[in-house]
Structure 1
Amino acid sequence: MPPDPRANPHFRGHEAAIHALRSAVTAGRLHHGWLFAGPPGIGKATLAYRFGRWLLAAGQSEDLSIPESSGPFRRIAAGTHPDFFTVERRINAKTEKLQGEIVIATIQEASAFMRLTPAEGGWRVVLVDGAEDMNSNAANALLKLLEEPPPRSILLLTSAAPGRLLPTIRSRCRVLPMSPLPDAVMRALLADYAPDADAARLIELAEGSIGNALNLAEGGGVAVAALVDEALDAPVAPARAQAMADSVARSVEGADKFELFFSLLRTRLAARTRAAARAGAGNLSHNVTLWQDFGKLEREVLGLNLDKRAAILVALEQLHRS
């Protein structure tokens, strides 16, 4: 598996996005807000961290790389750089569970951070990873930051669902669209991170998402993909739904399989929706609603430690409801 995005020195693909970021800096026209938008698992957070490191290190490289041994790289990887702040869902101190959303308190911390003088004389960088997870209060607080950004500060937002962001947030950011990775890049990344995997099958299933491909490469991933396709193809009888939910939720790797199941379910549902749109067929609005609902259901189950098996049954029942 690759390193965490904050500590990953490697990056492939997305040359246009790299060029746009580098050109904005070298031309002295660096916008105060950037939205890295694209499907899950394609490298949005990895690129955002890469750019933040490069900016704080006053980098000169064409590919936005800096040495792994450098201070900015090591401190950002460790979460200790005084001029870099990450906003994401956090562990709730009372429940010790991952929050289901980004809350206003975290944005308020980021706001206070951005208004400080840069500790090292350069920039203050805030990365909002998974910006679509902000609740309404957090989103409005972030909007105020975008409307009145402190000097020498920059906001980097990543989002797999930019349509869920406030239109005013999107309009105040420079949107950096990032597309699924081409097959050649996927093959190269799989050779690096999963050399023994069935690359052809993973590329077929992952649809340009190296994150999805690597999740699939772990034990049982391809089998989960088969269950997802079965569920999408036709309504699942109650007894079969029970068996499918058991196979995903009861094993030792249940947590991983649960997240993988929902990731694949949403990815495959989106692919079929796009195909239906091109063909002028299908209930597109229903599919879009399902995609959103399944994402919310997954976040709630993980954030509140709810019954994974029950959530799978709910999703299977909703799939073909008219």
Structure 2
Amino acid sequence: MQEDPRLASLYLQGHEAALQAFRMALASGRMPHAWLIAGPPGIGKATFAFRVARLILGGEDADSPAGRRISAATHADLLVVSRSFDEKRQRFRGEIVADEVRPINAFLRRTAAEGGWRVVIVDGAEWLNRSAANALLKILEEPPPQAVLLLTSSAPGRLLPTIRSRCRKLDLAPLDTHSLQSVIVRQVPDVSPDDMTRMLESAQGAPGRALALLADQGGKMADLAQEAVAGVSVSRSYQIAEAVLRKDDGFNLFFSLLSDFLQNRARQSARQGLNQSNALAQAWEAIMRLQGETERFNLDKQESLLQAMTIASKA
């Protein structure tokens, strides 16, 4: 349901201050060779990175030669590295490996095809394994001229400190309500007023999260997450896990909703002066860590869902 970020970058909403920072750096002639674009999942980091690539490569106009090549993924001066898709398991692999990073060296050593800049996007840099991270670090230590590396990350703390120190960090803020509505209406023009209201209440300013919520027709996934927090039997927990895994991206959406309910209960508990807030906060941290480890190490998603429901209900 989500739009290809190459195309979505033509219609970027929000993030004006962050984009202006790039424009100023480019105009000054002192462009940092590496940027770390950080923000929560679904906030539009990849879309933003492609918009910056368009800016640097002269492709902001969709109908310009450079603009068309970026949209078609054929621009010779733009290289994208990200987690590859496992066709057999029908899911993204749990890490970015060194063999996927090494082509950056060859790409940056050659002369720019169009005589200007070369741009590398590493989307989801937190998924770099140790060997891949070290290979990228060597590139960052001796960057060639007229080259920019754009690293996106939902968890910059997972990156090597030496990688973070060689990048200019840019945090993307959640979209305001108007910008988020504009993104949704463009991609889902027939969205109902009720679904729009439901989405705006839970999307937290993140377009990717908003689209996942809209795909959860009638809020069924939210109902399952709320039921799990209240506590369910073992047999019911298996039923919930099976229902979650039948949905596209249901795993991540369920974890996100589960963490939302725990956060809300923790805030309510703190306001009421109850000592339950610490236990809820610890449960939230455990669930978020479980989600990340499941994705990173290709753990069994059903087992992780069952474990998450146990943690939430005990809290």
Amino acid at match of 1:317: T
Give CA-to-partner distance per residue, 1:55-103, whole Å, 9 cap, x none.
112x6xxxxxx22122222222222211111010113589786321011
Q: 1:166 is matched with which residue: 151, 160, 171?
A: 160
Change (3 A) 1:274 1:193: farther
Aligned 8 A contact 2:94 2:295 in 1 = no
State whether structure 2 residue 240 is matched by structure 1 residue 247.
no
1:146 to 1:269, Cα distance in 2 relative to 1, 3 A = farther
CA contact (8 A) 2:36 2:150 kept: yes
* 1:159-184 deviation per Cα after TM superposition (whole angstroms, max 9, x unaligned): 11111111221111111111111222
The Cα of 1:287 is off from its aligned counterpart by 3.0
1:1-322 matches, cutoff 5 A? 1=1, 3-8=3-8, 9-57=10-58, 66-91=60-85, 98-195=92-189, 196-197=191-192, 198-220=195-217, 222-232=219-229, 234-249=230-245, 251=246, 254-266=247-259, 281-283=277-279, 284=281, 287-301=284-298, 308-320=301-313
Q: In the aligned structure 2, how far is the partner of 1:168 from the partner of 1:72?
A: 34
Displacement of 1:272 in angstroms is 6.5
Q: Aligned with 1:157: secondary structure?
A: strand
> TM-score, structure 2 length as denominator?
0.86
Letter of the 2:4 partner, please give it: D
Task: Determine helix, strand or coil for the equivalent of 1:36.
Answer: strand
**What CA distance in whole angstroms lies between the structure 2 residues aligned with 1:85 and 1:229?**
42
> RMSD across aligned C-alpha pairs, in angstroms?
2.8
User: Is the contact between residue 255 and residue 288 of structure 2 (CA under 8 Å) also seen in structure 1?
Assistant: no
CA distance in structure 2 between the partners assigned to 1:35 and 1:144 by the alignment: 16
CA contact (8 A) 2:175 2:206 kept: yes
How many pairs are equivalent?
307
Aligned AA (1:260)? L
> Identical aligned pairs, as a percentage?
46
SS of structure 1 residue aligned to 2:11: coil
| TM-score (norm: length of structure 1) | 0.84
- 2: distance between equivalents of 1:112 and 1:276? 55
Distance 2:304 2:51 in 1: 36
Task: Quickly say closer, same or farther: Cα 1:186–1:107, change in 2 above 3 A.
Answer: same
Matched residue SS, 1:3: coil
**TM-aligned CA distance change 1:49 to 1:319, over 3 Å:** same
Q: Distance in 1 between matches of 2:72 and 2:98?
A: 24
Give the conservation status (yes or no) of the 8 Å contact 1:132–1:161: yes
Unaligned runs of 5+ in 2: none
CA distance in 2 between counterparts of 1:15 and 1:276 reads: 36
For residues 227-251 of structure 1, the C-alpha deviation after alignment (integer angstroms, 9 at most, x for no partner) is: 223334x4433132122113223x4
Report the Cα offset of residue 186 of structure 1: 1.6
